[in-house]
Chains A and B, each alone.
Chain A
Amino acid sequence: MSNRRRIKVLISVIGLDGHSTGAEIVSRFLMDAGMEVVYLGIYQTPEMIVSAAIQETVDVIGISSHASNYEQIGLLIDLMKKDNLNDIPVICGGTIPKQYAEVLIKKGVSKIFPPQSTSESIINYIVSSVKR
């Protein structure tokens, strides 16, 4: 019966960033890998993402950040802590400089995927983090 279980991922762009191409590509290959992707698109505030994550009981949250205000991602982590959602790993993909990556990891982001990360690496990470 539990072979029915599908990994559910929430993919969103954050803040006023309008670059959705990366997020759409990721959503597509996650679907091809057998996952259910709740794709939120653009103009999502951290509050909206948290609300959707709760209503959709997702396993992982993936934020696509193309030259974003990293504060937004930090705010998202803070909100999740407040709402006791720490068991949902947050991963980020996109153009995030090394030192911000380190700050975000310290804050609680589980993993950062730099540009040109392969679909395989992202899929494998999600699968392994859900298994835990």
Chain B
Amino acid sequence: MKRETDYGYEIKPVYTPKDIENLDYAKDVGDPGSYPFVRGYHLNGYRNRVWTRRMTAGLGSSRRTNELLKQYREMGQTQGILVICDRPSAMPIDSDHPVGRREAGVLGWPASSLLEFEELMDGIPLTGQSITLLGSSAMSSIRLAYIVALAEKRGIDLKEVHGSVTEYPFCHTFGQTDNLPLDLNIKLWLDSSEYIVRNKMHMRSGILSQHLQESGGNNAQALAIEMAMLKELLGLLVNERGLDFDDLALLPYELVSIGSRFFEEIAKVRALRRMYAKMAKETFKAKSDKACQLLIAVHTSGRTMTYQQPLNNIARCAIQTLAGAIAGCTAIDNACLDNAHAEPSVFAARMSLNTQHIVSDETGVTDVTDPLAGSYFVEYLTNNVEAEAYKILQQIEDQGGMIAAVKKGYVQNMVKESARQKQKEIESGERLIVGVNELTIPPEEDDDIPIQAVEASDSEEIAKRMETWKKTRNLPLLKEKMAQLYADAKKDDTHTLMPSIIEAVKAYGTGGEIMGVIRKASGFHYDPLEIIDCPFDL
């Protein structure tokens, strides 16, 4: 059995004061709420506000997802909603696209138009809870436009809406369904982020290490790549868009994947806070404390949810949730026990939410902030993973920064190697997984769990509805807005497309259409799959 962290540090049997004798509490750790924020951002921690307990939703048509969200609300999810988009709309292609129609509403909400968003949010408040829409970078600016459009319709002040609907431009790098060329993704991210900051919206942009870890990246890599992304993207907002770093304080949020190796995961999150604080102060000369704080949400790792004996995953999820809570975070969403099988069944979803409530209500973890501070082992690990992360960060810098490194494939290869390494360790038994390489049982005896049906039957209905609905729109108005968008997209990179995207969304332009027009203006094929042509005369 390997007694190493996942990035290769060999763990000793015992840790003593000697291991952290150079640790200066005031300088290196600080109280919660004090720089460098290792211990968290609030002295009173969860006593002020417990982390948001939420579940990913997104299944079938917008109506169905709407019902599901209302159901979750009754099961205790009251602080926020989290909806994931289906694959076609993540690319984006529309539900009526010849290839898209096969997977419309499958494994996610069909996010292709404002109409769908209105149906999704029918009877659900836009304020008073966080609104998070996930689903790759390409659609981000359009999802932001949905928020703007719906807020306007409901007569809500934009500043009252909080949550996150935009995502970082490197999604596709780590295996997500996203089909815009990287440079275009980056430009649109800058546009949507600039819009958020200038309008003082409380919407955050997800710059996530979750994807790369779920693809096999180890903890040191996760920290390094996360910091490299933040540095480069926030740097662009400051240097290219002329924003003040302190105004960016409310923009980024990170979703960290938490696995089963309890102490390492806690150390990872603590180190992350310190690394971000240092970067904010030293690189960006942040003036306020708030600008040195990174909003961190936790996602318990889907990668660790085994196919075999899925009920074991309840225990794993509980351990990971506890780790996330102790590490300190603003929200936790769980991969459910049936993650390796299907979308969460109601049973699995309830199990996850209950797990979160058991951890928050029964264990006492909300009584104290950062309870493991001072532990010789945990403080050592925090320092250790940070040091390793800086080495990798330097390598990325040597490649010219995150964008250059991604274009060269450097980052991708690093993560792939780590994935292979992890696979090898499981196959050789160096890392044990109950039910997989130890204590296995024959498949016939395995747990019987309810499986959420993959409702593909909705797909054709969603596709047909979109087809017919498209014709009922105010077409002259739409054409006008598309022409405007096209003209704007032809201008130079620093000209923000948000205003014209918002106008196009309000005229009920779809994701596929809006992104298609932008792609066309940038010299690419209208359709990422090069099957359909642009329906507008441009």
Contacts and interface: CB of A to CB of B under 8 A. Distances in A.
Judge A-B direct contact (beta carbons within 8 Å).
Answer: yes
Interface of A: 15-21, 24-25, 28, 43, 45, 67, 69-72, 75, 95-100, 114-116, 118-120
B392 interface: no
A97 B342 contact: yes
A16 B87 contact: yes
B107 interface: yes
B308 A114 contact: yes
**A-B pairs with the 6 shortest C-beta distances?**
A16-B87, A18-B177, A97-B341, A115-B307, A114-B307, A97-B451
A18 B172 contact: yes
Contacts, number: 85
Contact of A69 (B91, B107, B216): B107
Contact of B176 (A18, A43, A100, A114): A18
Given A95-B341, A115-B340, A18 B175 contact: yes
Given A15-B103, A45-B99, A116 B426 contact: yes
A69 B456 contact: yes
B454 A19 contact: no
Contacts of B408: none
B419 interface: yes
B427 A119 contact: yes
B411 to A, nearest CB: 14
B193 interface: no
A16 B172 contact: no
B509 interface: no
A98 B446 CA distance: 10
A24 to B, nearest CB: 7
B306 A115 contact: yes
A9 to B, nearest CB: 18
Contacts of A72: 102-103
B178 interface: yes
A24 B313 CA distance: 26
B114 interface: no
A114 to B, nearest CB: 5
A43 B102 contact: no
Contact of B420 (A18, A19, A25): A25
B420 A116 contact: no
Nearest to A118: B427
A48 B163 CA distance: 40
Contacts of B416: 21, 24
Interface string B441-458: 001001000010010100
A97 B423 CA distance: 21
Interface in B326-352: 338-343
A19 B175 contact: yes
A116 B307 contact: yes
26 contacts: A15-B102, A15-B103, A16-B88, A16-B99, A17-B177, A18-B87, A18-B177, A21-B215, A21-B419, A24-B416, A25-B420, A28-B420, A69-B103, A71-B102, A71-B454, A95-B339, A97-B341, A97-B451, A98-B341, A98-B443, A98-B451, A100-B342, A100-B451, A114-B340, A116-B306, A118-B427
A39 B436 CA distance: 27
Contacts of A95: 307, 339-342
Given A69-B102, A116-B306, A116-B426, A18 B215 contact: no
Nearest to B435: A116
A70 B454 contact: yes
Nearest to A67: B107
A16 B91 contact: yes
Interface centre among B172, B216, B420 (most CB of A within 10 A): B420
B489 to A, nearest CB: 24
B341 A116 contact: no
A75 B99 CA distance: 13
A69 B454 contact: yes
A20 B416 CA distance: 11
Contact of A20 (B91, B175, B433): B175
B69 interface: no
Contacts of A98: 341, 443, 446, 451
Interface in B162-200: 172, 175-179
B529 interface: yes
Nearest to A20: B175
B100 interface: yes
A131 to B, nearest CB: 24
A120 B424 CA distance: 12
Contact of A43 (B339, B426, B437, B529): B529
Given A15-B87, A100-B454, A21 B175 contact: yes
Given A19-B175, A96-B341, A116-B437, 11 more contacts: A15-B99, A15-B103, A16-B103, A16-B177, A71-B456, A95-B307, A95-B339, A97-B341, A98-B446, A118-B427, A119-B427
B211 to A, nearest CB: 10
Contacts of B343: 67
Contacts of A15: 87, 99, 102-103
A95 B305 CA distance: 11
